Structure 1
Amino acid sequence: MTTIIDVAKQAQVSKSTVSRVISGNGYVSQESRKKVLEAMEALSYSPNLIARNLQSGETKTIGFLAQGFIDPLGIFLESFISIAKRYNYYVTLYFTDGDKKKEIDALNQMKYKQLDGVFILTRANKWEIIEPYSLYGPIATWHRIDSERIYSSYVDHYSGYLRSLNYLYDRGYRSIGHVLGNSENLNTKARIKAIDDFQQDKNIPIKEEWLFHDRARLDNGRNIAHTWHKMANKSDAMAFYTDSVAAGFISELQNLGYSVPEDVAVIGFDNSEISRLMHITTVDYSIKRQAQNSFIYIHNQLNRETIAEQEMSVQLIERKTVPLRKKELDKNASSSENN
């Protein structure tokens, strides 16, 4: 079997020069690089990456785990890959399809020195199952979790959701429906607290029929549209935990003969590409910086560095799906004057 020594002899350079050409690290003159590449081609030499990784203890590769495609995936993955490239890391995407074994197989790649670290966008296993794998490499996520072994780049969804509800109220909306994520998710619990505090502050009761919990995302916007259509007492605004479900809701309502925002106002959450395409008013909670901070954590852990994380913020992005309800505001103002 051809070795690096054979390549060095063929190219008439040192073994270290061949090593620098293969790794891409260190200076090699153009003439020497050309000799090495020609020698590798002549000898049909292929670097033994597994052996080299075992020797160095690193692969320069981060695993990116997701159950499948969700709306924020494109933004998050693009930002994660971009900053990883800046620091000379590769990113390998694993779609687990919600299969717990597939997720464990991916996490085991750190144990077998095939990955240096892992980022989890969406998980299949419980966190207590995932946590022990941090022994083999750093693990980061954007989920809000309380763990000393897994880094979380979460943004406070309480303040973001409360801001969206206050925005709807200030625009004249009083009957507001809520589409929330998995009830076990800490971000969902933060939104529920925001709803409770909003209701107490504004003295606005919520009807149970206006509260939805979405577990699968797939087609749920359409299903919620049909439920809303059948309601005798419809909400005049709907607040969604993600833009993709909001988009599905709007699209299906149009098929049912309704018009958004004339018949119902809609506000999303993510500021994803679909919200821009459909002009959905939404909340931007720094997805790009969540991705960047997740990589920075992994990089710092692997290299014992202290690169500063990016500051994150929550912003409301006004578009076309939450118009000002002037009549409602005028009526409330008149009532206050009479009192």
Structure 2
Amino acid sequence: MTTIIDVAKRAKVSKSTVSRVVSGNGYVSKESRQKVIEAMEALSYSPNLLARNLQSGATKTIGFLAQGYFDLLGTVLESFISIAKEYNYYVTLYFTDGDKKKEIDALNQMKYKQLDGIFILTRANDWEVIEPYSVYGPIATWHRLDSERIYSSYVDHYSGYYRSLEYLFNRGYEEIGHVLGNPENLNTKARLKAIADFQADMGLAEKKEWIFPAAGHHGNGRIIANHWAKMDLKPTAIAFFTDSVAGEFISELQLLNYSVPKDVAVIGFDNSETSELMHITTIDYSIKQQTENSFIYIYNQLHKQSIPEKKITVRLIERNTVPKK
């Protein structure tokens, strides 16, 4: 089998020169590079990338973990792959289907030097289970998390949600319902605090029956739409924790012969493709910047660098599901 030494001898250059040509790192003169390439072609030399990665301890690959497909996956994955490409990294997608063992198997890929780092979009295991794997490589997530071992690129959902409620109130809506995510998530707890503070600030009565849980994504909007239609005292506006559930809600209401915003105003959260296609008023909290910051953290940890993070902003996008002034 042809080795890097054989290539160096044929090209009449040093072994380190061949190594720099193969890796793409370091300076090599145009003349020497051409000699090495010609020698590689003549000897049919193919670099053993796996062996090289094991020797250097780098795979140039980041794992991207998700339980399965949902509305925002495409947006986040596209952003992550795009910035990874800028820094000459590959991205491997792992669907765990909510299986804790599959997630651990993916995390172990860092231990076995098959991945350099991991980004977690949605998880199956508790953070306490995931944290110890950070000794094998950097781990980042967009979830709100207070951890010294896992990087969290998140926005303050309290201020964003409070702003959405204030927006509805200023358009005459006082009877506001809320569709919230997993009650264990810190973002959900931040939204609950925003609801309580907003009601106190505006002198509104608390109505627990207008808080609808939707821990999952797929199908919950339709369930909530049917529940809302049967209520005797209905909220006249509803704020959703994500656009995909808001979109399902609107679609089901149309089948039930209700109209948005005539019968109920709707505001989402994400500024996803769904909100664009269905013209849903929504809160944009810089998903692209969150994703890029997660990769930058991983890259900085791997290369001992300090590339600055992207600035995250929160803005309200007015569309058609809340009447404009």
Q: TM-score, normalised by structure 1?
A: 0.90
Q: 1:48 to 1:204 in 2, by over 3 A?
A: same
Judge which range, 75-84 or 95-104, deviates more.
75-84
> Are 2:161 and 1:161 equivalent residues in the alignment?
yes
Instruction: State the Cα distance separating 1:29 from its structure 2 match.
Output: 5.8
Distance in 2 between the 1:38 and 1:269 partners? 56
Distance in 1 between the 2:100 and 2:39 partners? 45
Q: Report what 1:297 is aligned to.
A: 297
Give SS of 1:268's match. Answer: strand
Q: Report what 1:114 is aligned to.
A: 114
Asked if 1 retains the 8 angstrom alpha-carbon contact of 2:116 and 2:137, the reply is yes
Q: Report what 1:72 is aligned to.
A: 72
- Paired residue type of 1:228: W
Instruction: State the Cα distance separating 1:74 from its structure 2 match.
Output: 2.1
Map Cα deviations across residues 226-271 of structure 1 (whole Å, 9 max, x no partner). Answer: 1111112221111000001111111111111111111111000001
Q: 1:43 to 1:298 in 2, by over 3 A?
A: same
Q: Report what 1:219 is aligned to.
A: 219
Judge which range, 182-191 or 286-295, deviates more.
286-295
Distance in 2 between the 1:109 and 1:208 partners? 45
Q: Report what 1:146 is aligned to.
A: 146
Aligned residues, how many? 325
Instruction: State the Cα distance separating 1:221 from its structure 2 match.
Output: 1.0
Distance in 1 between the 2:9 and 2:256 partners? 75
Q: Report what 2:243 is aligned to.
A: 243
Q: 1:14 to 1:282 in 2, by over 3 A?
A: same
- Paired residue type of 1:3: T
Q: Report what 2:130 is aligned to.
A: 130
Distance in 2 between the 1:269 and 1:99 partners? 27
Distance in 2 between the 1:41 and 1:259 partners? 68
> Are 2:285 and 1:285 equivalent residues in the alignment?
yes
Give SS of 1:282's match. Answer: strand
Distance in 2 between the 1:43 and 1:251 partners? 63
Instruction: State the Cα distance separating 1:46 from its structure 2 match.
Output: 3.4
Asked if 1 retains the 8 angstrom alpha-carbon contact of 2:67 and 2:97, the reply is yes
Q: 1:42 to 1:248 in 2, by over 3 A?
A: farther
Distance in 2 between the 1:9 and 1:254 partners? 74
Distance in 2 between the 1:115 and 1:67 partners? 18
Distance in 2 between the 1:53 and 1:263 partners? 60
Instruction: State the Cα distance separating 1:288 from its structure 2 match.
Output: 1.0
Instruction: State the Cα distance separating 1:155 from its structure 2 match.
Output: 0.5
Give SS of 1:137's match. Answer: coil
Asked if 1 retains the 8 angstrom alpha-carbon contact of 2:84 and 2:91, the reply is yes
- Paired residue type of 1:132: P
Distance in 1 between the 2:303 and 2:25 partners? 16
In the alignment, structure 2 segments of 5+ residues that lack a partner are none
- Paired residue type of 1:266: V
Q: Report what 2:270 is aligned to.
A: 270
Aligned residues with identical type, % of pairs: 76
- Aligned ranges 1:28-47 → 2 under 5 Å: 28=28, 36=36, 40=40, 43-47=43-47
Give SS of 1:76's match. Answer: helix
Instruction: State the Cα distance separating 1:206 from its structure 2 match.
Output: 3.6
Judge which range, 179-188 or 90-99, deviates more.
90-99
Distance in 2 between the 1:291 and 1:91 partners? 13
- Paired residue type of 1:225: A
Asked if 1 retains the 8 angstrom alpha-carbon contact of 2:181 and 2:188, the reply is yes
Judge which range, 225-234 or 125-134, deviates more.
225-234
- Paired residue type of 2:88: N
Q: Report what 1:308 is aligned to.
A: 308
Give SS of 1:77's match. Answer: helix
Map Cα deviations across residues 77-120 of structure 1 (whole Å, 9 max, x no partner). Answer: 22222222222222221111111111111111111111111111
Distance in 2 between the 1:130 and 1:177 partners? 35
Instruction: State the Cα distance separating 1:43 from its structure 2 match.
Output: 4.8
Distance in 2 between the 1:28 and 1:84 partners? 25
> Are 2:188 and 1:170 equivalent residues in the alignment?
no
Q: 1:44 to 1:67 in 2, by over 3 A?
A: farther
Distance in 2 between the 1:142 and 1:73 partners? 12
Judge which range, 69-78 or 111-120, deviates more.
69-78
- Paired residue type of 1:294: S
Q: Report what 1:323 is aligned to.
A: 323
Q: Report what 1:335 is aligned to.
A: none
Q: Report what 2:232 is aligned to.
A: 232
Asked if 1 retains the 8 angstrom alpha-carbon contact of 2:70 and 2:218, the reply is no
Instruction: State the Cα distance separating 1:191 from its structure 2 match.
Output: 0.2
Distance in 2 between the 1:12 and 1:201 partners? 79
> Are 2:71 and 1:86 equivalent residues in the alignment?
no
